[in-house]
Amino acid sequence: MPVGEAGRLGGVSTGQLVTVGWAGALWRYPVKSMLGEPLVSVAVGGEGLDGDRRFGVVDARTGMVASAKRPHRWRRLLLLRSEVAGPGVIRIHFPDGRSVLSTDVAVDQLLSDFLGEEVELRSQAPPGAELERAVPDAVLTEGVGADVEVTTLEIAGASPAGTFFDFSPLQLVTSASLERVGAAHAAGRVDVVRYRPNIVIETAAALTGFVENDWAGHRLHLGPEVILDVLIPSPRCAVPTLRHGLLPSDPDAFRVPLQHNFVPVPLEGFGAAPCLGVHAGVLQGGRLSPGDEVRLAN
């Protein structure tokens, strides 16, 4: 299996800030594993984009966080869309046109009925909250409805306590990587929403391939205020292959990174994985808008 095809940094040297592109689409996902909402401008703080992953659906029986990473049980979460409806309040939209606020007393029952599991919507993750992640290769082989082998992961390892992030408060992906995946995809393109990024970085023309692989361990400056610490390449699971709202399933959304960007993930015991994009933490917050210059520091 080929190793990752790292992109070109363009001769970054110690202490330099080199422009690598500009901020493109911005997305937040108020409820973990649900579809999110595009943004025209957003405040960035220690908990990532304002309003992102502040809520999660929890299995009332086990206390585990519901995640589409285990498609057998939770893939229908990706048919729901969430949006911020006010301070500390979110609205969830159902495929049939209904919607419900997080403050509505009926919210848990409506979600339970839709998901076919007894669940609760929570605004804070309990300490040590965990989720189940299906082995992606097994999902590809046996199908999304199969009850395949799972691993158990503690969430928010690099995020503030109580949040519902998988690992870090931000995920970024570059247009260069998306173009590389699209070039190898049977359809000749790939839908970015399958990878659920917070920030799509429109990379400079000279940068090609899976360029953000090289950014781990570096700082990224976005606009005049925001500074990020790029942590690790983002390992991919079965989620990109699943139906997202009106988008049909797409196994190649996982197969292409598996074949072309199988790279080491510098987390203890993790090894290598198919990756696309990067996880990042926030060193300095501020306002972020599409078009803001993105600069990389060595």
Residue 11 falls inside a structural domain: no
Residue 9 falls inside a structural domain: no
Residue 1 falls inside a structural domain: no
Residue 289 falls inside a structural domain: yes
- A 10 A CB-CB count for 156 gives 21
- Give dist(CA 117, CA 97) in Å, integer: 21
DSSP 194: G
Residue 268 falls inside a structural domain: yes
Residue 8 falls inside a structural domain: no
Q: Which domain holds residue 111?
A: 17-297
Torsion region of 142: left, alpha or beta (phi above 0 gives left; psi -120 to 50 gives alpha): alpha
| CATH code at position 289 | 2.40.33.20
Q: Give the residues across from 15 on adjacent strands.
A: none
Counting every residue written for the chain, the total comes to 298
Residue 10 falls inside a structural domain: no
Domain count, the chain: 1
Q: Which pLDDT tens digit goes with each residue over 19-45?
A: 999 999 999 999 999 999 999 999 999
Q: Which pLDDT tens digit goes with each residue over 170-210?
A: 999 999 999 999 999 999 999 999 999 999 999 999 999 99
Average pLDDT of the segment spanning 238-243? 97
Average pLDDT of the segment spanning 62-80? 97
Banded model confidence at residue 268, pLDDT cuts 50, 70, 90: confident
Amino acid identity, position 28: R
Residue 3 falls inside a structural domain: no
Residue the block writes with tokens 């403050």: 103
Average pLDDT of the segment spanning 41-66? 97
